Amino acid sequence: MNDHQPAHHHAEHHGAHDHHGGHEHQAVPSDLALRVKALESLLVDKGLVDPAGLDALVDMYEHKIGPRNGARVVARAWVDSAYKKRLLTDGTAAIAELGYGGTQGEHMRVVENTPAVHNLIVCTLCSCYPWSVLGLPPVWYKSAAYRSRAVIDPRGVLREFGLELADNVEVRVWDSTAELRYLVLPERPAHSEHLSEDELAALVTRDAMVGVATVTIPPAAVQS
C-alpha cells in the first residue's frame, strides 16, 4: 500500500525544507512565457484575437478540460481496487494506463486522503503542477502567498478554502518539482455507492485533487 515514510513529505511543523535538484527557480518570466505574452499582444493588436475570448479559453482549460483527466483517474481508483493499488504504487504508469501522461519525463506520485491523513500539494519555488491530469494551474497555486503559507500554515490555508480539518487529521504537504509531481486521491464521498464511475468522476473537482477541498455529493444525488 502507500509508503508512509515519504522522502518528499513536509510535516506541518517543519518550517524550513529543501527543494530537489534540477528545479529551476525563475524570478523573471521564462523566455517561453515572454514569447507567449508577446504573441498574445500582437494578435490582440492586429484584431485577430479577442482578449476576453482568450481568458475564457484559459479558464476552460483550467477548470473544465484539464481536470477531467484527473477526475477519471480518481473515479477509476474508487471503483477498481486493483487500479487504486497500482495508482498508489506507480502513479506514472497507472495514469498512463488511462492515456494520460507528460512529455517532459516527469514522474507522478498519487497520495491518498483517508479519515486520518489529508494531503496538500504545493510548489514552493515556482508552479510545478500535474498538468497532464489537471490542466493549467490556477492563479492562486502560483501565488507567493500560497507557495509559502501552504508549508508554514497548511490548516490556515485550508480554512481559507473553506475546509476545516479536525485536529486529529494529519496534514501532509507535498512539494512538487519538475521531476516529481503529485496528485491527491480524495476520499470517495459517503453515500455514493450507487453512482457509476462516470457519475463519480463528475463530482471530482480540481481543488480536491490539489488537496484544498474534499469531494462532496450533492444532496439530490444521495439515494433515499
127 is catalytic: yes
Distance CA 123, CA 37 (A): 23
- Quote the cell numbers at residue 185: 486521491
Does 122 help bind Fe ion (rule: CB under 5 A)?
Answer: no
Cα–Cα dist 218/124, whole Å: 33
128 is catalytic: yes
| Measured CA distances, 188 to 114, 122, 191, 195 (Å) | 9, 22, 9, 11
CB contact set of 210 (below 8 Å; sequence gap of 6+): 120, 121, 134, 141, 184
Residue 123 designated active-site: yes
- Asked if residues 165 and 158 have their Cβ atoms less than 8 Å apart, the reply is yes
- Cβ nearer to Fe ion, comparing 28 with 190: 28
Which of 123, 158, 173, 210 binds Fe ion (CB under 5 A)? It is 123
Residue nearest to Fe ion (CB): 128
Annotate each residue in 23-62 with x if it binds Fe ion (CB under 5 A) or - if it does not, as one string.
Answer: ----------------------------------------
Q: Report, in Å, the least distance between residue 134 CB and Fe ion.
A: 14
Helix ranges, 90-186 (H): 91-97, 131-134, 139-142, 144-152, 154-160
Based on the shown chain and the rule CB under 5 A, indicate whether residue 126 belongs to the binding site for Fe ion. yes
Q: Note whether 210 binds Fe ion by CB under 5 A.
A: no
Minimum distance between the CB of residue 129 and Fe ion, rounded to whole angstroms?
8
Q: Active-site residue 41, yes or no?
A: no
Question: Given 30, 127, 143, 148, which residue is catalytic?
Answer: 127
Could you give the residue numbers annotated as active site?
123, 126-128
* Positions that interact with Fe ion (CB under 5 A): 123, 126, 128
